Amino acid sequence: DIVMTQSPDSLAVSLGERATINCRSSQSVLNISNNKNFLTWYQQKPGQPPKVLIYWASTRESGVPDRFSGSGSGTDFTLTISSLQAEDVAVYYCQQYHSTPVTFGGGTKVEIK
Amino acid sequence: QVQLQQSGARLLKPSETLSLTCGLHSGSFRGYYWNWIRQTPGKGLEWIGEINHSGSTHYNPSLKSRVTISIDTAENQFSLQLSPVTAADTAVFYCARRKTYYYGSGNYYRTYMDVWGKGTTVTVSS
């Protein structure tokens, strides 16, 4: 199985400041055939299911604010919230869909400082 | 708008069989895979398995011996059975739609989960 490791486990950021979450995979999730990284970022708020923010590592899902962006390739990826808003308080997960079974990172909890 | 409807909380005893159903509203089964994922405080999010409209399945090897996923397109629902359960199976179980990405000649990749049910809390306790 591909192991997904996120860092940090939690971070506290002031409103309007940047939040950066890292995700590392134990194997490359880059598909050579189509040059796409098979990686997704989800946001989960308490009592709710995960919600997709980013897929193909850097493509924003329809309706997701442009303050959310994804970057990286191969085994190292980053989710950036450019200007943290109160409604962004949540746990964020990366997930690879390159190989079966799909696997998730352990999550990063984002709070307001 | 596609919605996935899950039933309410379940309480089971060890060695029993967990049966969950996910109802599809306002959508088609074709062109997607239909997934089950569970979440625990200790192990986080864990993919259980999936099925497509024609009944093709993939399972997590760690659970394969205990899991069966089925689909009933006439009733617009798909189901999960997990047996036998233990306390370690206590979790929130989610159903989710997984998108496919076609790249020609009928070939496709299975990608990410874009629609999720609200989750069902399952507790296993004697």
The chain-wide mean pLDDT, for chain A, equals 98
Q: Which residues contact B11 (CB under 8 A, 6 or more apart)?
A: B123, B124, B125
Contact A49 B110 (CB under 8 A): no
Q: Are strands A10-13 and A108-112 parallel, antiparallel or unpaired?
A: parallel
Contact B119 A51 (CB under 8 A): no
Which chain A residues are Cβ-neighbours of B1 within 8 angstroms? none
Report the pLDDT value the prediction gives residue B124, as an integer from 0 to 100: 98
Least CB–CB distance from A104: residue in B44, B58, B110 = B44
Tokens of A27: 């194997």
Are B72 and B53 in contact by the 8 Å Cβ rule? The answer is: no
Report the pLDDT value the prediction gives residue B105, as an integer from 0 to 100: 80
Phi, psi of A99 (to 5 degrees): -135, 155
Contact A52 B114 (CB under 8 A): yes
Contact B110 A97 (CB under 8 A): yes
pLDDT in tens, B1-51: 999 999 888 999 999 999 999 999 999 999 999 999 999 988 899 999 999
pLDDT in tens, A41-86: 999 999 999 999 999 999 999 999 999 999 999 999 999 999 999 9
In Å, how far is A104's CA from the nearest CA of chain B?
6
Quote the CA–CA distance of A45 and A113 in Å, as a whole number.
18
